[in-house]
Structure 1
Amino acid sequence: MKPASSLSSAVLFDHQALRDQFPALKQTIGDHPLCYLDTAATSQKPQAVIDAMTEYYQLNNANVHRAAHQLSARATQQYEAVRQQVAEFIHAQRQDEIIFTHGTTESINMVAYGLTSQIKPNDVILVDTAAHHANIVPWQELAKRTGAVIKPIPLTTDAQLDITAFDQLLALKPKVVTLCHVSNALGTLNPVNELVAKAKAVGALTLVDGAQAIAHLSVDVQLIDCDFYVFSGHKMYGPTGVGVLYGRYTELDKLTPMLTGGEMIKTVSFEQTEFGALPNRLEAGTPAIAEVIGLGAAIHFLQQLPREQILAHEQQLLRYLQQQLQQLGAIELYGITNDKHSGDKHCADGQRHNIGAVAFNLQGEHHQDVGILLDQQAVAVRCGHHCAMPLMTSLNLGGCCRASIGIYTNKQDVDQFIHALNTVKELLL
């Protein structure tokens, strides 16, 4: 990691030209330029995504798979082309392993509901303590339906997943192991390749929540070797209302459909219905067509970028942010891993433990007060429990602030944030 003073010199691509493609970042709020540090909640959208969705509504607005006319043919071609794009983007083995959903939450619910017939009383489901509520509540509902038992995977004192405890829990022969790739609240990175391999060794099905990883890391689902991988479009510079469920074909094909109706059938009579083949079988009703097309534009946008350089820039910027917070004083940081751990065998894909986000509190002050005062200076961060209440409980916190970065974040954003936070500190302390 290069020192903070050489931050800008490490950028080998035109970062300002990249940033200029995001129209929302050009605005001012009050007397301040917008400083957007809430990308983990939702990313801003490049003009290419906005244009792709507008073009669909202006020229190709029609339902997919259902009509003989040219508009429908064009819409269907665009929609299915994105399925292939996604498969290539995450290195899925086949196109029909990609199911379009409304987001990560629906994707996980689809798996949890779809597994109902495969889960028996007292089957064990292991859930990452740092998981988002969307990766906890659907499994609780599955346990209610089936009599299964939820077991949380504990964290270490520095908020990393406890590998030793995980190994001990695997002795219970869990039926399902569900993990976050990157914590939405803390930005901590799980060694998912290692964890999934261990879970598979005891016969468990595995699901990885990639909502926070997909925009930062190059994801290879075959390398991870998980049964299911899920993510949302709006976290990766695409639109809201669209997400992806990847599933290993053999496991995906066993899921009971959560939604039934049009599009997902082969034949229907009043006596019985025969469901169609994947992927249609799990995509009932009219899909979010414009949003899928927007997702395809976001993937194309990302694929044109020097991803390794951008990841290096993001990691350097994140470290600069951490250093500036530490130097500010009276700041409590959560889930930060020291440099000496960066080569740890538990660090997946050779990357750092922290990706994209820093969680913090101003000592003795309520996180919401800090967030409101930052907003008055046009600095956007998220404050609260981050839909991760079990994690907050494990950290003995009622909530915290989170500053999160994206490909468009620059050093000026960090400096504006630190200046604003120092103003808040002087006001409150």
Structure 2
Amino acid sequence: MSDVDDATVRASVASTPALTITVADENYTVEPTDAPITIGRVFPAQVQVNDKRISRTHLRLETRGAQWVAVDHSSNGVFLDRQAVPSVIVTNGLMLHLGHPEGIAVTFHLGAPAEREAAAGGPGRDTDGESDDDDGFDDEVGETTGESEYTDPGVVRAGAAVAARRQELNIAQRTLARDKVMNAGALISFEKGRSWPRQTTLARLEEALRWPLGTISRIRWGEDTGSEDAGERTVAMTNTVEAPFMVQAVQLALDTMRHQVDLLPEPSDPDFTQRVGMVLSDLRKLESVASNAARTTKGAPEVILVLSAVRRQYRDVMLRAARSPRATLGQQVFAARQRAELSVDEAANAAGVSVEVLTAVEADAPVSGDAVAAVRRLLSSLTRA
């Protein structure tokens, strides 16, 4: 993705509100960076509803521009005012019924609960503007159902950086809790890449770590965090401090993804392609985090080892995905060049496309029609060989 496209995506995400989902008196608050969010009967749905009318993947919540959109992926339908709808823009207070016109009710509110209370001047706020039960986090899927199965490698990277910075400055978790920066449980969850703090908590944490405002979010997005004028406030972590935390965070994320892989259905299952696509997307992001750490960290072989583990897992899942009758072109060509023992550079050259184009095809990203045709010709040649 180009710098311009990346900036556009971030601007869009920044203007999209958080979304609070209410099902059976349970609230789940998600950020636009968490999208897509799935409501369904079983894992990997982040919001699970145990009802026989609910499909495994029933409703998918996506961000489009600055809006949330609910898209039906079910067998029994999604209903608005007793009418089946294939998709609908989420508005504040929207109520949908799943599986039947009078089925499971799901209500949506734009913004986190604390933000809505603050806007309404409601209760639950003390004199410093924080919630009485502030734990440093918006209500999240992970806090309601146990550890979240959704892994954002950017959060993994940011959490590892915060843990490393704390050790550099010799700041204990209980110290940050005592100073009301962030409670210990929430901090542990963040440093392990499981959750993302709300903006006010990030600001307090950055001040405690002597980082410029916005640093943690920039780390999440992989942006440059250095500054010539920042002096001691520049983000600079030594390899010996950063590497162990990064390895631990990446390994934790990889373990979560392996659990997701173990729960995948057979390649012939109709749900397989969508579910394996989500796993592969997360693995690509995690590989990017680990690869960047390997490039910037010297004298730390454990970083290379965890990068190797991520790549092996990605290869295994891609080869499994290629066995599906619904395998994408990217999955098929990846498997074909693996069988032919061709690197991505060699395969791209044989197809007459750039490495970037072939990499995009294998990641199921959009490319030109001519590029697709060239890759299909390559796949046909490799399949006949």
Q: Which structure exhibits the higher relative contact order, with contacts defined as CA atoms closer than 8 Å and separated by 6 or more residues?
A: 1
- Please classify the TM superposition score into its range, dividing by the shorter chain length: under 0.3
Structure 1 or 2: larger helix share?
2
